[in-house]
């Protein structure tokens, strides 16, 4: 029987170095208490934010010092809690950290309303009086831009205090799916039991034995059926929270509120969904290639993750994956490549799955810490691409921190997903051009196509679903599991018109944590589109285009995301990057059809 190890059984070299933040949980506790006490330093400025230019500068410097410590305290607790979601002490730390974060937001909630009492001429006068304020000019512009959607200081403090409550649907869902749910063991192709987990589900759906894949598919979604009402309730409440918070800030819709935060025009969302829906023939061509490759009459949902080669593909141990990913980013310049390689040897990555570990993958960190990458590495091509993806995020953070002051080091997700997908695309090109192993080359092509399918088309389908359920709530219609099934199933049938959509996969919405992130998923799709355009520029123009791309990463949050991508030569207000990305997808489908003689 395959098994998932306990965390204590995983070698320390394959765990991230949380000790680089605090040497022990006791040290974290001391930092927590100091950070909590320091909130009073911020509160002391309430009512006098703009009393003078010097006072404003002092407040912003104090706020930075306090929030840097708070974010580090929160980061450590979250990392520890994700290592094993069953560990109640670590969950308690994360809960305390969440409360501290909420309290910090509340303590600072007066700043923006008090700044918004000024107009732009007033701000310019303060900057002229105190030159040190000049580096905050983009921040001031962003604050004043949001003036119509910011409430009084009292209301803002209340909304900040409520964050701990409004996060409840997402946190409840996370604990249910990651800690409380256990999945069945099914009979493997060799007759031995195979344990299904959140981390290995899609990997198991890439096994060549079709009947085994069917058993995995049905057992996995059968388990979700047992918590149908609980998950339906958490998602319904999350959507209603988004709607109510948008109303509280004078927005007409939850989507408008979510996109206005990073200053992304709603038209960008509509361009994406409409352009992808107009090009579903490309997705359906890919699905039909899978059907022909598998030599089956009907493509079932448990066939969808299968390779076009019909097998699992080569085993890629983690050590080999590291080397290949580092080699692949050479077009971005030697300093970029070297720094990424050093990070991989400095325990940035928590590599392998262990019992209770949070599912999926992510990159995290603060201005004062190294990056931390959560993986559940499975020794396959897909995991190697995920590693490249998360390293793109980490390197983006490192370049932005180097180039920007604290207030601009963070960047919007809209830009972040470009950095991750550029790395994936470079890895694909590197393997196609340099891999000596023909099997690896073919699987790299297949993996790129698969990730493109799941990133552009699948995430756009998610975006359409997310819009539909929010519009449903905004119209006053109830959101029940049956409604979620119907809305999701209809989209699945539209996108995969030439495949069989079974009742199990109509419940797929239940296993997608990103639906709790408030109009987040569309950025994966815009990201892959922009990344394809960036890589094409680098292939055609070389170092000059790579320099533009690095300059965009270094901007962090110093400009709005649409403007940041313009520095890299990409206009995301136009459908063109999406249309161009789909053309690249079609070209790779042509190549796959030729190589595999399909």
Q: How is the chain split into domains, by residue range? A: 17-166
Q: Which two tokens stand for residue 130?
A: 């105190």
- CATH code, residues 17-166: 1.20.140.70
For residue 80, is pLDDT > 60? yes
- Contact predicate 394/428, CB 8 Å: no
Q: What distance in Å separates the CA atoms of residue 504 and residue 97, rounded to the nearest whole number?
A: 37
What's the rounded Cα separation, in Å, for the pair 366 and 409?
9
pLDDT in tens, 548-594: 999 999 999 999 999 999 999 999 999 999 999 999 999 999 988 98
Catalytic residues: 390
DSSP 71: H
pLDDT tens-place string over residues 202-215: 889 989 999 999 99
Residue 1: pLDDT band by 50, 70, 90 thresholds? very low
Angle CA 407–411–415, to nearest 5: 160
Alpha carbon distance 580, 529 (integer Å) = 8
- The answer to whether residues 324 and 391 touch, using CB atoms and an 8 Å cutoff, is no
Query: What's the pLDDT band for 26 if we cut at 50, 70, 90?
Result: very high
Alpha-carbon separation of residue 16 from 12, 156, 344, 465, 564 (angstroms): 8, 37, 10, 35, 31
pTM of the model: 0.84
Contacts 24+ apart (CB under 8 A), 393-397: 393/362, 393/363, 393/419, 393/420, 394/340, 394/343, 394/348, 394/363, 394/365, 395/336, 395/339, 395/340, 395/343, 395/419, 395/423, 395/553, 396/420, 396/553, 397/363, 397/365, 397/371
> Is the Cβ–Cβ distance between 589 and 289 less than 8 Å?
yes
Q: Is the pLDDT of residue 23 over 50?
A: yes
DSSP 252: S
The tens digit of pLDDT for each residue in 382-391 reads 899 999 999 9
Q: Which two tokens stand for residue 234?
A: 């958490």
Given a contact cutoff of 8 angstroms between Cβ atoms, the answer to whether 533 and 577 are in contact is: yes
Q: What is the DSSP letter of 434?
A: H
Q: How confident is the model at residue 2 (pLDDT cuts 50, 70, 90)?
A: low
- What length does the chain have? 598
Predicted confidence at residue 209, as pLDDT, reads: 94
End-to-end CA distance of the chain: 36
Q: What is the pLDDT of residue 152?
A: 84
Residue 352 sits at φ, ψ, to 5 deg, of -100, 155
The tally of CA atoms less than 13 A away on the side-chain side of residue 70 is: 25
- Report residue 240: phi and psi, to 5°: -65, -35
Taking alpha carbons only, the member of 441, 421, 416 closest to residue 431 is 441
Are the CB atoms for 242 and 254 separated by under 8 Å? yes
Longest dimension (CA), the chain: 77
Q: Which residues contact 270 (CB under 8 A, 6 or more apart)?
A: none
Q: What's the CA angle centered on 455, arms 195 and 526, to 5 degrees?
A: 150
pLDDT tier for residue 120 given thresholds of 50, 70 and 90: very high
Contact 470, 242 (CB under 8 A): yes
Alpha carbon 106 to its chain's center? 26
Question: What confidence tens digit (pLDDT) does each residue in 473-526 have?
Answer: 999 999 999 999 999 999 999 999 999 999 999 999 999 999 999 999 999 999
Question: Phi, psi at residue 258, to the nearest 5°?
Answer: -65, -40
CA dihedral for 535, 539, 540, 544, sign (positive or negative): positive
Can you give the pLDDT at residue 236?
Answer: 97
Residue 82 CB-half CA count within 13 A:
25
CA distance 100 to 94: 10
Pure H helices in 404-517: 406-409, 413-434, 438-452, 459-474, 481-495
* Least confident interval from 266-270, 361-365, 438-442: 438-442
CA angle, residues 464, 384, 360, in degrees to nearest 5: 50
Closest by alpha carbon to 435, among 376, 384, 383, 377? 384
C-beta atoms surrounding 331 within 10 Å: 19
CB burial of residue 223 (10 Å; 0-12, 13-18, 19+): middle
Closest CA to 268 of 475, 465, 527: 527
3-state secondary structure 528-594: HHHHHHHHHHHHHHCHHHHHHHHHHHHCCCCCCHHHHHHHCCCCCCCCHHHHHHHHHHHHHHHHHHH
Indicate if the pLDDT at residue 442 is higher than 90. no
User: In angstroms, rounded to a whole number, what is the distance separating the alpha carbons of residues 433 and 427?
Assistant: 10
- Bridge-partner residues for 363, per DSSP? 373
Compute the average pLDDT of residues 440-457: 90
Pairing of strands 185-187, 362-364: unpaired
Distance CA 459, CA 464 (A): 9
């Amino acid at each position: 029987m395959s098994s998932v190890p306990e965390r204590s059984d995983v070698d320390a070299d394959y765990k991230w170095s949380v000790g680089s933040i605090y040497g022990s949980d006791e040290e974290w506790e001391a930092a927590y208490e100091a950070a909590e006490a320091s909130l009073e330093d911020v509160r002391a400025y309430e009512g006098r934010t703009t009393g003078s230019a010097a006072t404003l500068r002092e407040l912003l410097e104090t706020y930075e010092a306090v929030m840097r410590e708070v974010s580090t305290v929160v980061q450590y607790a979250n990392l520890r809690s994700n290592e094993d979601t069953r560990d109640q002490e670590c969950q308690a730390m994360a809960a305390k950290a969440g409360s501290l974060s909420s309290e910090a937001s509340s303590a600072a909630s007066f700043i923006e309303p008090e700044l918004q009492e000024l107009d732009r001429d007033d701000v310019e006068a303060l900057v002229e009086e105190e030159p040190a304020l000049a580096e905050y000019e983009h921040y001031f512009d962003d604050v004043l831009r949001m003036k119509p959607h910011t409430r009084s200081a009292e209301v803002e403090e209340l909304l900040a205090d409520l964050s701990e409550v409004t996060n409840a649907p997402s946190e409840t869902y996370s604990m249910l799916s990651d800690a409380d749910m256990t999945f069945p063991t099914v009979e493997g192709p060799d007759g031995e039991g195979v344990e299904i987990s959140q981390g290995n589900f899609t990997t198991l759906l890439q096994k060549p034995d079709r009947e085994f894949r069917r058993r995995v598919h049905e057992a996995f979604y059968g388990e979700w059926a047992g918590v149908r009402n609980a998950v339906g309730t958490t998602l319904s409440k999350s959507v209603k929270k988004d709607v109510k918070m948008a109303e509280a800030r004078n927005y007409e819709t939850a989507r408008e509120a979510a996109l206005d935060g990073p200053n992304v025009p709603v038209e960008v969302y509509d361009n994406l969904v409409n352009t992808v829906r107009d090009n579903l023939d490309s997705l359906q061509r890919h699905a039909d290639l899978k059907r022909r490759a598998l030599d089956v009459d009907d493509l079932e949902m448990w066939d969808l993750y299968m390779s076009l080669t019909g097998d699992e593909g080569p085993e890629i141990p983690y050590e080999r994956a590291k080397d290949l990913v580092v080699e692949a980013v050479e077009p971005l310049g030697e300093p970029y490549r070297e720094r990424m390689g050093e990070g991989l040897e400095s325990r940035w990555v928590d590599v392998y799955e262990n019992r209770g570990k949070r599912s999926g993958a992510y990159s995290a960190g603060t201005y004062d810490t190294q990056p931390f990458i959560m993986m559940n590495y499975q020794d396959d091509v897909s995991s190697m691409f995920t590693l490249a993806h998360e390293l793109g995020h980490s390197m983006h953070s490192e370049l932005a921190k180097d180039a920007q002051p604290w207030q601009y080091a963070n960047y919007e997700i809209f830009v972040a997903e470009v950095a991750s997908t550029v790395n994936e695309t470079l890895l694909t090109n590197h393997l196609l051009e340099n891999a000596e192993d023909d099997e690896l080359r073919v699987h790299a092509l297949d993996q790129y196509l698969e990730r493109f399918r799941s990133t552009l088309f699948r995430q756009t389908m998610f975006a359409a679903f997310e819009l539909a359920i929010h519009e449903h709530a905004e119209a006053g219609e109830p959101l029940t599991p049956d409604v979620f099934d119907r809305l999701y199933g209809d989209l699945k049938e539209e996108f995969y018109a030439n495949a069989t959509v079974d009742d199990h996969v109509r419940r797929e919405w239940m296993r997608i944590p990103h639906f709790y992130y408030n109009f987040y998923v569309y950025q994966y799709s815009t990201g892959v589109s922009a990344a394809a355009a960036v890589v094409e520029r680098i292939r055609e123009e070389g170092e000059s285009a790579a320099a533009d791309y690095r300059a965009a990463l270094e901007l962090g949050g110093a400009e709005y995301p649409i403007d940041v991508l313009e520095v890299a030569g990409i206009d995301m207000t136009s459908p063109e990057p999406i249309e161009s990305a789909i053309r690249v997808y079609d070209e790779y489908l042509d190549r796959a059809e030729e190589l595999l003689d399909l």
